Structure 1
Amino acid sequence: MRWFRAAHDASAKDANRSSSPIGAERDPKRLVTFSDAVIAIAVTLLVLEIQPPEDTEHLLRGLAELWPSYVAYAITFLLIGQMWVNHHVMFDHIRSADRMLLLLNTLLLMVIAFLPFASSLLAHAFESGHGKRTALIFYGATYVVAAILFNVIWEYARHGRRLLTSATDNDTARAISRRFRPAPFWIVVGTALGALHPVVGLVVVIAFIPFYWLPIKGEVGSIQRTREQSRGDT
Protein backbone atom coordinates (compact mmCIF):
# COMPACT_ATOMS: atom_id res chain seq x y z
CA MET A 1 0.00 0.00 0.00
CA ARG A 2 2.85 2.36 0.88
CA TRP A 3 4.56 1.49 -2.41
CA PHE A 4 1.35 2.24 -4.34
CA ARG A 5 1.01 5.67 -2.69
CA ALA A 6 4.65 6.48 -3.43
CA ALA A 7 4.21 5.48 -7.07
CA HIS A 8 1.01 7.53 -7.34
CA ASP A 9 2.70 10.59 -5.84
CA ALA A 10 5.66 10.21 -8.19
CA SER A 11 3.40 9.94 -11.24
CA ALA A 12 1.44 13.01 -10.12
CA LYS A 13 4.66 14.98 -9.78
CA ASP A 14 5.76 13.85 -13.26
CA ALA A 15 2.40 14.91 -14.72
CA ASN A 16 2.67 18.33 -13.09
CA ARG A 17 6.25 18.69 -14.31
CA SER A 18 5.29 17.73 -17.88
CA SER A 19 2.47 20.29 -17.92
CA SER A 20 4.47 23.12 -16.36
CA PRO A 21 5.31 26.13 -18.56
CA ILE A 22 8.73 26.49 -20.17
CA GLY A 23 10.43 29.62 -18.85
CA ALA A 24 8.70 32.61 -17.34
CA GLU A 25 4.99 33.15 -18.00
CA ARG A 26 3.94 36.44 -19.57
CA ASP A 27 0.71 38.25 -20.22
CA PRO A 28 -0.25 37.29 -23.82
CA LYS A 29 -1.67 40.74 -24.61
CA ARG A 30 1.61 42.01 -26.10
CA LEU A 31 1.92 38.80 -28.11
CA VAL A 32 -1.56 39.31 -29.56
CA THR A 33 -0.85 42.99 -30.33
CA PHE A 34 2.38 42.10 -32.13
CA SER A 35 0.60 39.31 -34.04
CA ASP A 36 -2.16 41.71 -35.11
CA ALA A 37 0.48 44.11 -36.48
CA VAL A 38 2.27 41.39 -38.48
CA ILE A 39 -1.02 40.10 -39.90
CA ALA A 40 -2.10 43.65 -40.82
CA ILE A 41 1.17 44.20 -42.69
CA ALA A 42 0.78 40.85 -44.50
CA VAL A 43 -2.69 41.66 -45.84
CA THR A 44 -1.52 45.15 -46.84
CA LEU A 45 1.37 43.69 -48.83
CA LEU A 46 -1.08 41.58 -50.82
CA VAL A 47 -2.41 44.54 -52.81
CA LEU A 48 1.12 45.78 -53.52
CA GLU A 49 1.74 42.56 -55.44
CA ILE A 50 -0.88 43.59 -58.03
CA GLN A 51 1.02 45.54 -60.68
CA PRO A 52 -0.95 47.91 -62.97
CA PRO A 53 -0.91 47.19 -66.72
CA GLU A 54 1.98 48.77 -68.64
CA ASP A 55 -0.11 49.19 -71.78
CA THR A 56 -2.42 52.08 -70.89
CA GLU A 57 -3.61 52.30 -74.51
CA HIS A 58 -5.62 49.11 -73.95
CA LEU A 59 -6.15 49.62 -70.23
CA LEU A 60 -9.51 47.88 -69.91
CA ARG A 61 -8.17 44.70 -71.51
CA GLY A 62 -5.05 44.90 -69.37
CA LEU A 63 -7.11 45.23 -66.20
CA ALA A 64 -9.26 42.27 -67.23
CA GLU A 65 -6.18 40.15 -67.81
CA LEU A 66 -5.17 40.70 -64.19
CA TRP A 67 -8.07 38.54 -62.97
CA PRO A 68 -5.72 35.89 -61.47
CA SER A 69 -4.17 38.60 -59.29
CA TYR A 70 -7.62 39.69 -58.10
CA VAL A 71 -8.61 36.10 -57.30
CA ALA A 72 -5.34 35.35 -55.49
CA TYR A 73 -5.71 38.62 -53.56
CA ALA A 74 -9.28 37.87 -52.47
CA ILE A 75 -8.58 34.25 -51.48
CA THR A 76 -5.42 35.06 -49.56
CA PHE A 77 -6.94 38.09 -47.83
CA LEU A 78 -9.87 35.99 -46.60
CA LEU A 79 -7.59 33.14 -45.52
CA ILE A 80 -5.27 35.47 -43.59
CA GLY A 81 -8.32 37.18 -42.11
CA GLN A 82 -9.54 33.76 -41.06
CA MET A 83 -6.19 33.10 -39.37
CA TRP A 84 -6.50 36.43 -37.55
CA VAL A 85 -9.96 35.54 -36.24
CA ASN A 86 -8.93 32.05 -35.11
CA HIS A 87 -5.75 33.42 -33.57
CA HIS A 88 -7.97 35.58 -31.37
CA VAL A 89 -10.16 32.58 -30.65
CA MET A 90 -7.11 30.74 -29.30
CA PHE A 91 -5.80 33.59 -27.23
CA ASP A 92 -9.22 34.37 -25.76
CA HIS A 93 -8.66 31.10 -23.89
CA ILE A 94 -4.93 31.39 -23.18
CA ARG A 95 -4.14 33.14 -19.90
CA SER A 96 -0.35 33.36 -20.26
CA ALA A 97 2.48 32.73 -22.72
CA ASP A 98 5.72 30.95 -21.90
CA ARG A 99 8.88 30.93 -24.02
CA MET A 100 7.83 27.92 -26.08
CA LEU A 101 4.49 29.50 -26.94
CA LEU A 102 6.31 32.69 -27.98
CA LEU A 103 8.56 30.64 -30.28
CA LEU A 104 5.66 28.74 -31.85
CA ASN A 105 3.72 31.96 -32.41
CA THR A 106 6.80 33.57 -34.00
CA LEU A 107 7.05 30.65 -36.44
CA LEU A 108 3.36 31.06 -37.30
CA LEU A 109 3.84 34.78 -37.98
CA MET A 110 6.87 34.00 -40.14
CA VAL A 111 4.68 31.79 -42.35
CA ILE A 112 1.86 34.36 -42.48
CA ALA A 113 4.31 37.08 -43.53
CA PHE A 114 5.45 34.76 -46.36
CA LEU A 115 1.94 34.37 -47.80
CA PRO A 116 1.99 37.53 -49.99
CA PHE A 117 4.90 36.01 -51.94
CA ALA A 118 3.09 32.67 -52.32
CA SER A 119 -0.02 34.54 -53.46
CA SER A 120 1.95 36.57 -56.01
CA LEU A 121 3.58 33.41 -57.35
CA LEU A 122 0.17 31.79 -57.79
CA ALA A 123 -1.24 34.83 -59.59
CA HIS A 124 1.71 35.13 -61.98
CA ALA A 125 1.53 31.43 -62.83
CA PHE A 126 -2.16 31.65 -63.76
CA GLU A 127 -1.59 34.87 -65.69
CA SER A 128 1.22 33.35 -67.77
CA GLY A 129 -0.37 29.90 -68.02
CA HIS A 130 2.91 28.24 -67.02
CA GLY A 131 3.85 26.56 -63.75
CA LYS A 132 0.32 26.54 -62.37
CA ARG A 133 0.67 23.14 -60.68
CA THR A 134 3.97 24.05 -59.05
CA ALA A 135 2.62 27.42 -57.88
CA LEU A 136 -0.50 25.84 -56.38
CA ILE A 137 1.53 23.16 -54.59
CA PHE A 138 3.81 25.88 -53.20
CA TYR A 139 0.81 27.99 -52.15
CA GLY A 140 -0.92 25.01 -50.52
CA ALA A 141 2.23 23.84 -48.76
CA THR A 142 2.60 27.28 -47.16
CA TYR A 143 -0.93 27.05 -45.78
CA VAL A 144 -0.37 23.50 -44.57
CA VAL A 145 2.57 24.69 -42.47
CA ALA A 146 0.45 27.52 -41.03
CA ALA A 147 -2.41 25.12 -40.22
CA ILE A 148 -0.04 22.69 -38.51
CA LEU A 149 1.41 25.50 -36.40
CA PHE A 150 -2.10 26.58 -35.37
CA ASN A 151 -2.73 23.07 -34.08
CA VAL A 152 0.64 22.83 -32.35
CA ILE A 153 0.13 26.17 -30.55
CA TRP A 154 -3.33 25.25 -29.34
CA GLU A 155 -2.48 21.71 -28.28
CA TYR A 156 0.62 22.94 -26.47
CA ALA A 157 -1.43 25.53 -24.57
CA ARG A 158 -4.21 23.11 -23.63
CA HIS A 159 -1.99 20.13 -22.72
CA GLY A 160 -2.55 19.63 -19.01
CA ARG A 161 -4.40 22.99 -19.13
CA ARG A 162 -0.96 24.51 -18.58
CA LEU A 163 -1.74 27.89 -20.16
CA LEU A 164 -5.54 27.99 -20.40
CA THR A 165 -7.84 30.29 -18.46
CA SER A 166 -9.78 28.69 -15.63
CA ALA A 167 -13.02 29.75 -17.36
CA THR A 168 -12.24 27.59 -20.40
CA ASP A 169 -13.91 24.25 -19.78
CA ASN A 170 -12.71 20.99 -21.33
CA ASP A 171 -15.65 20.81 -23.74
CA THR A 172 -14.75 24.20 -25.23
CA ALA A 173 -11.06 23.25 -25.47
CA ARG A 174 -11.99 20.03 -27.30
CA ALA A 175 -14.38 21.90 -29.61
CA ILE A 176 -11.58 24.26 -30.68
CA SER A 177 -9.29 21.27 -31.25
CA ARG A 178 -11.93 19.59 -33.39
CA ARG A 179 -12.23 22.72 -35.52
CA PHE A 180 -8.47 23.16 -36.01
CA ARG A 181 -7.47 19.54 -36.64
CA PRO A 182 -9.05 19.00 -40.09
CA ALA A 183 -7.37 22.12 -41.56
CA PRO A 184 -3.99 20.59 -42.53
CA PHE A 185 -5.65 17.52 -44.08
CA TRP A 186 -8.18 19.65 -45.97
CA ILE A 187 -5.45 21.81 -47.52
CA VAL A 188 -3.28 18.76 -48.28
CA VAL A 189 -6.20 17.27 -50.24
CA GLY A 190 -6.67 20.54 -52.14
CA THR A 191 -2.96 20.76 -52.86
CA ALA A 192 -2.81 17.14 -54.05
CA LEU A 193 -5.77 17.71 -56.36
CA GLY A 194 -4.07 20.89 -57.57
CA ALA A 195 -1.10 18.81 -58.66
CA LEU A 196 -3.49 16.98 -60.99
CA HIS A 197 -5.76 19.89 -61.93
CA PRO A 198 -4.90 23.37 -60.57
CA VAL A 199 -8.43 24.80 -60.83
CA VAL A 200 -9.99 21.87 -58.93
CA GLY A 201 -7.35 22.15 -56.23
CA LEU A 202 -7.99 25.88 -55.90
CA VAL A 203 -11.75 25.30 -55.56
CA VAL A 204 -11.13 22.85 -52.69
CA VAL A 205 -8.93 25.41 -50.94
CA ILE A 206 -11.59 28.10 -51.46
CA ALA A 207 -14.21 25.80 -49.87
CA PHE A 208 -12.02 25.91 -46.78
CA ILE A 209 -12.88 29.60 -46.26
CA PRO A 210 -16.61 29.59 -45.31
CA PHE A 211 -16.26 26.55 -43.02
CA TYR A 212 -13.56 28.15 -40.88
CA TRP A 213 -15.46 31.42 -40.56
CA LEU A 214 -18.24 29.61 -38.71
CA PRO A 215 -18.35 30.11 -34.90
CA ILE A 216 -17.01 27.32 -32.70
CA LYS A 217 -19.34 25.53 -30.30
CA GLY A 218 -18.96 26.80 -26.73
CA GLU A 219 -16.85 29.75 -27.85
CA VAL A 220 -19.29 32.49 -26.80
CA GLY A 221 -20.18 31.00 -23.41
CA SER A 222 -16.55 30.49 -22.47
CA ILE A 223 -15.62 34.07 -23.35
CA GLN A 224 -18.54 35.38 -21.29
CA ARG A 225 -17.36 33.33 -18.30
CA THR A 226 -13.84 34.71 -18.72
CA ARG A 227 -15.14 38.29 -18.75
CA GLU A 228 -17.32 37.70 -15.71
CA GLN A 229 -14.38 36.17 -13.89
CA SER A 230 -12.12 39.13 -14.73
CA ARG A 231 -14.79 41.54 -13.47
CA GLY A 232 -15.01 39.56 -10.25
CA ASP A 233 -11.24 39.69 -9.78
CA THR A 234 -11.24 43.46 -10.16
Structure 2
Amino acid sequence: MTGIDEQYVLSTDTRRAEAFSDGVLAIVITLLVLDLRTPSVPPGHLLEGLLAQWPAYLAYVTSYIYVAVVWLNHKAAFKRVVHVDRGLHWANLGVLFTTALLPFPTAVLSRTVLEENPTDIRTAVALYALVGALVCAAWLALFQHLSTHPILLAEGVEAEFFAKERIRAWAGIALYIVAGIIGALIAPPIALAIFLAVPAFYGLTSSGLYSMPAVARAVDDDSGER
Protein backbone atom coordinates (compact mmCIF):
# COMPACT_ATOMS: atom_id res chain seq x y z
CA MET A 1 0.00 0.00 0.00
CA THR A 2 1.34 3.41 -0.91
CA GLY A 3 2.58 5.38 2.11
CA ILE A 4 1.33 2.79 4.59
CA ASP A 5 3.15 -0.22 5.99
CA GLU A 6 1.75 -3.43 4.61
CA GLN A 7 1.35 -4.74 8.16
CA TYR A 8 -1.71 -2.49 8.45
CA VAL A 9 -4.97 -3.46 6.84
CA LEU A 10 -6.76 -0.14 7.13
CA SER A 11 -10.39 0.70 6.66
CA THR A 12 -11.83 4.20 6.73
CA ASP A 13 -15.18 2.84 7.86
CA THR A 14 -15.43 2.50 11.64
CA ARG A 15 -19.21 2.22 11.54
CA ARG A 16 -19.29 -1.58 11.29
CA ALA A 17 -17.10 -1.97 14.37
CA GLU A 18 -19.22 0.56 16.26
CA ALA A 19 -22.53 -0.99 15.18
CA PHE A 20 -21.36 -4.48 16.10
CA SER A 21 -20.14 -3.23 19.48
CA ASP A 22 -23.42 -1.44 20.17
CA GLY A 23 -25.32 -4.63 19.40
CA VAL A 24 -23.17 -6.77 21.69
CA LEU A 25 -23.43 -4.30 24.57
CA ALA A 26 -27.21 -4.09 24.13
CA ILE A 27 -27.43 -7.88 24.41
CA VAL A 28 -25.23 -7.87 27.51
CA ILE A 29 -27.49 -5.34 29.24
CA THR A 30 -30.52 -7.44 28.29
CA LEU A 31 -28.95 -10.57 29.77
CA LEU A 32 -28.38 -8.77 33.07
CA VAL A 33 -32.11 -8.31 33.65
CA LEU A 34 -32.80 -12.03 33.25
CA ASP A 35 -31.56 -12.61 36.80
CA LEU A 36 -34.44 -10.51 38.16
CA ARG A 37 -37.13 -13.11 38.76
CA THR A 38 -40.59 -13.28 40.25
CA PRO A 39 -40.20 -14.52 43.85
CA SER A 40 -41.78 -17.84 44.77
CA VAL A 41 -43.76 -16.89 47.87
CA PRO A 42 -47.15 -17.79 49.39
CA PRO A 43 -50.09 -15.48 48.69
CA GLY A 44 -49.90 -12.30 50.74
CA HIS A 45 -46.08 -12.33 50.99
CA LEU A 46 -45.16 -10.79 47.63
CA LEU A 47 -43.74 -7.59 49.11
CA GLU A 48 -41.61 -9.58 51.53
CA GLY A 49 -40.35 -11.74 48.67
CA LEU A 50 -39.54 -8.75 46.49
CA LEU A 51 -37.63 -7.00 49.27
CA ALA A 52 -35.70 -10.18 50.04
CA GLN A 53 -34.25 -10.09 46.53
CA TRP A 54 -32.34 -6.84 47.17
CA PRO A 55 -28.94 -8.42 46.32
CA ALA A 56 -30.20 -9.14 42.79
CA TYR A 57 -31.32 -5.52 42.38
CA LEU A 58 -28.00 -4.16 43.65
CA ALA A 59 -25.99 -6.50 41.44
CA TYR A 60 -28.12 -5.57 38.43
CA VAL A 61 -27.70 -1.83 39.00
CA THR A 62 -23.94 -2.17 39.53
CA SER A 63 -23.37 -4.19 36.37
CA TYR A 64 -25.84 -2.13 34.32
CA ILE A 65 -23.93 1.03 35.21
CA TYR A 66 -20.67 -0.73 34.37
CA VAL A 67 -21.90 -1.77 30.91
CA ALA A 68 -23.35 1.69 30.33
CA VAL A 69 -19.99 3.23 31.19
CA VAL A 70 -18.25 0.78 28.84
CA TRP A 71 -20.56 2.02 26.08
CA LEU A 72 -19.82 5.68 26.92
CA ASN A 73 -16.08 5.05 26.91
CA HIS A 74 -16.34 3.06 23.69
CA LYS A 75 -18.20 5.92 22.04
CA ALA A 76 -15.64 8.45 23.29
CA ALA A 77 -12.74 6.35 22.01
CA PHE A 78 -14.13 5.67 18.54
CA LYS A 79 -15.12 9.31 18.11
CA ARG A 80 -11.38 9.93 17.89
CA VAL A 81 -10.71 7.09 15.44
CA VAL A 82 -11.04 7.32 11.64
CA HIS A 83 -9.25 4.12 10.61
CA VAL A 84 -9.39 0.58 11.93
CA ASP A 85 -6.79 -2.12 11.46
CA ARG A 86 -6.64 -5.76 12.41
CA GLY A 87 -5.06 -5.00 15.77
CA LEU A 88 -7.79 -2.53 16.70
CA HIS A 89 -10.46 -5.03 15.68
CA TRP A 90 -8.94 -7.65 17.97
CA ALA A 91 -8.56 -5.18 20.84
CA ASN A 92 -12.18 -4.15 20.41
CA LEU A 93 -13.29 -7.77 20.36
CA GLY A 94 -11.37 -8.26 23.59
CA VAL A 95 -13.34 -5.45 25.23
CA LEU A 96 -16.61 -6.99 24.03
CA PHE A 97 -15.60 -10.51 25.08
CA THR A 98 -14.75 -9.52 28.64
CA THR A 99 -17.78 -7.23 28.99
CA ALA A 100 -20.05 -10.05 27.79
CA LEU A 101 -18.86 -12.11 30.76
CA LEU A 102 -20.40 -9.68 33.27
CA PRO A 103 -23.87 -11.28 33.50
CA PHE A 104 -22.29 -14.49 34.82
CA PRO A 105 -20.50 -13.13 37.94
CA THR A 106 -23.42 -10.76 38.48
CA ALA A 107 -25.85 -13.69 38.76
CA VAL A 108 -23.43 -15.72 40.89
CA LEU A 109 -22.87 -12.82 43.29
CA SER A 110 -26.54 -11.95 43.74
CA ARG A 111 -27.53 -15.58 44.40
CA THR A 112 -24.73 -16.27 46.88
CA VAL A 113 -25.55 -13.11 48.85
CA LEU A 114 -29.16 -14.31 49.04
CA GLU A 115 -28.03 -17.70 50.32
CA GLU A 116 -25.85 -16.00 52.97
CA ASN A 117 -23.02 -18.52 52.87
CA PRO A 118 -19.83 -16.60 53.83
CA THR A 119 -17.46 -18.87 51.93
CA ASP A 120 -19.51 -18.72 48.74
CA ILE A 121 -19.92 -14.95 49.03
CA ARG A 122 -16.14 -14.49 49.22
CA THR A 123 -15.69 -16.72 46.18
CA ALA A 124 -18.37 -14.82 44.25
CA VAL A 125 -16.78 -11.48 45.11
CA ALA A 126 -13.40 -12.74 43.90
CA LEU A 127 -15.02 -13.96 40.66
CA TYR A 128 -16.65 -10.58 40.01
CA ALA A 129 -13.36 -8.81 40.74
CA LEU A 130 -11.55 -11.10 38.30
CA VAL A 131 -13.98 -10.35 35.48
CA GLY A 132 -13.87 -6.63 36.27
CA ALA A 133 -10.07 -6.67 36.10
CA LEU A 134 -10.23 -8.53 32.77
CA VAL A 135 -12.52 -5.84 31.33
CA CYS A 136 -10.04 -3.15 32.39
CA ALA A 137 -7.15 -5.17 30.96
CA ALA A 138 -8.95 -5.37 27.63
CA TRP A 139 -9.36 -1.59 27.63
CA LEU A 140 -5.66 -1.28 28.43
CA ALA A 141 -4.85 -3.28 25.30
CA LEU A 142 -7.14 -1.09 23.19
CA PHE A 143 -5.65 2.15 24.57
CA GLN A 144 -2.15 0.78 24.08
CA HIS A 145 -2.85 -0.03 20.44
CA LEU A 146 -4.31 3.40 19.70
CA SER A 147 -1.49 5.21 21.51
CA THR A 148 1.11 3.43 19.38
CA HIS A 149 -0.77 3.68 16.07
CA PRO A 150 -1.48 7.39 15.52
CA ILE A 151 -2.27 6.65 11.86
CA LEU A 152 -5.66 5.38 13.08
CA LEU A 153 -6.59 8.62 14.83
CA ALA A 154 -8.62 11.55 13.58
CA GLU A 155 -6.86 14.74 12.62
CA GLY A 156 -6.04 16.81 15.68
CA VAL A 157 -6.20 13.86 18.08
CA GLU A 158 -2.87 13.30 19.76
CA ALA A 159 -1.61 9.82 20.54
CA GLU A 160 -0.90 11.16 24.03
CA PHE A 161 -4.65 11.13 24.67
CA PHE A 162 -4.75 7.34 24.59
CA ALA A 163 -1.39 7.06 26.33
CA LYS A 164 -2.98 8.85 29.29
CA GLU A 165 -6.08 6.68 29.03
CA ARG A 166 -3.90 3.73 29.99
CA ILE A 167 -3.73 5.25 33.48
CA ARG A 168 -7.50 4.82 33.82
CA ALA A 169 -7.25 1.20 32.74
CA TRP A 170 -4.42 0.46 35.17
CA ALA A 171 -6.38 2.15 37.96
CA GLY A 172 -9.35 -0.12 37.27
CA ILE A 173 -7.19 -3.24 37.25
CA ALA A 174 -5.61 -2.24 40.56
CA LEU A 175 -8.96 -1.42 42.19
CA TYR A 176 -10.52 -4.72 41.16
CA ILE A 177 -7.50 -6.68 42.37
CA VAL A 178 -7.65 -4.87 45.71
CA ALA A 179 -11.42 -5.45 45.89
CA GLY A 180 -10.97 -9.14 45.15
CA ILE A 181 -8.34 -9.56 47.85
CA ILE A 182 -10.33 -7.59 50.44
CA GLY A 183 -13.56 -9.38 49.55
CA ALA A 184 -12.03 -12.85 49.62
CA LEU A 185 -9.94 -12.43 52.76
CA ILE A 186 -11.38 -9.62 54.87
CA ALA A 187 -14.73 -7.95 54.22
CA PRO A 188 -16.95 -8.59 51.17
CA PRO A 189 -19.03 -5.41 51.79
CA ILE A 190 -15.93 -3.26 51.21
CA ALA A 191 -15.36 -5.05 47.91
CA LEU A 192 -18.97 -4.40 46.90
CA ALA A 193 -18.46 -0.69 47.62
CA ILE A 194 -15.41 -0.69 45.35
CA PHE A 195 -17.44 -2.44 42.64
CA LEU A 196 -19.84 0.52 42.77
CA ALA A 197 -17.03 3.09 42.87
CA VAL A 198 -15.15 1.86 39.78
CA PRO A 199 -17.99 2.46 37.26
CA ALA A 200 -18.57 5.86 38.90
CA PHE A 201 -14.90 6.73 38.34
CA TYR A 202 -15.03 5.62 34.71
CA GLY A 203 -18.30 7.46 34.17
CA LEU A 204 -16.93 10.74 35.51
CA THR A 205 -13.81 10.42 33.36
CA SER A 206 -15.47 9.04 30.22
CA SER A 207 -14.25 12.08 28.26
CA GLY A 208 -10.71 11.00 29.10
CA LEU A 209 -8.09 12.11 31.61
CA TYR A 210 -6.47 14.09 28.82
CA SER A 211 -9.59 16.25 28.58
CA MET A 212 -10.17 16.70 32.32
CA PRO A 213 -8.09 19.92 32.70
CA ALA A 214 -10.04 21.52 29.85
CA VAL A 215 -13.32 20.44 31.41
CA ALA A 216 -12.26 21.86 34.77
CA ARG A 217 -11.30 25.18 33.16
CA ALA A 218 -14.65 25.35 31.38
CA VAL A 219 -16.49 24.78 34.67
CA ASP A 220 -14.41 27.47 36.40
CA ASP A 221 -15.04 29.94 33.58
CA ASP A 222 -18.76 29.23 33.70
CA SER A 223 -18.82 29.72 37.48
CA GLY A 224 -16.94 33.01 37.15
CA GLU A 225 -19.47 34.38 34.69
CA ARG A 226 -22.39 33.80 37.07
Which TM-score applies when normalising by structure 2?
0.82
1:25 is matched with 11
CA positional deviation for 1:123: 0.2
- The 4+ residue runs of structure 1 with deviation greater than 2 A are 20-26, 169-181, 215-222
- Overall identity of the aligned pairs, in %: 27
1:43 aligns with 2:29: yes
Alignment correspondent of 1:5: none
The alpha-carbon distance between structure 1 residues 182 and 110, as it changes in their structure 2 partners (threshold 3 A), is: same
Deviations 1:39-81 (A, max 9, x none): 1111111111111111142111111110000000000000111
**Which of these two proteins has the greater Rg computed from alpha carbons?**
1
1:97 to 84, 107, 121: 84
* Aligned equivalent of 2:191: 201
> Is contact 1:94–1:164 with CA below 8 Å preserved after alignment?
yes
Match in the other structure for 1:177: 166
- Name whichever of 112-121 and 207-216 sits farther off: 207-216
RMSD: 2.2
1:55 aligns with 2:41: yes
Q: Tell me the alpha carbon deviations over residues 64-119 of structure 1, each in whole angstroms, 9 at most, x when there is no partner.
A: 11000000000000011111111111111122111222122222212212211110
Distance 1:106 1:160 in 2: 17
Give the gaps of 5 or more residues in structure 1.
1-15, 223-234
Worse-superposed segment, 175-184 or 114-123 = 175-184
Distance 1:186 1:157 in 2: 23
C-alpha distance in structure 1 between counterparts of 2:149 and 2:79, whole Å: 18
Task: Find the aligned partners of 1:133 and 1:174 in 2 and give their Cα distance.
Answer: 35
Deviation at 1:181, TM superposition (A): 2.8
Q: Does residue 67 of structure 2 align to residue 77 of structure 1? A: no
Given candidates 96, 101, 126, the residue that maps to 1:114 is: 101
Distance 1:50 1:146 in 2: 23
Q: Is the 8 A contact 1:21 1:162 kept in 2?
A: no
Instruction: Tell me, in whole angstroms, the C-alpha distance in 2 between the residues paired with 1:108 and 1:169.
Output: 22
Cα–Cα, structure 1 residues 54 and 162, in superposed 2: closer, same or farther, change >3 Å? same
Corresponding residue number in structure 1 for 2:224 = none
Partner amino acid, structure 1, of 2:52: E
1:136-151 equivalences in 2 (<5 Å): 136-151=125-140
**Cα distance, 1:22 vs. partner?**
3.6
SS in 1 for 2:37: coil
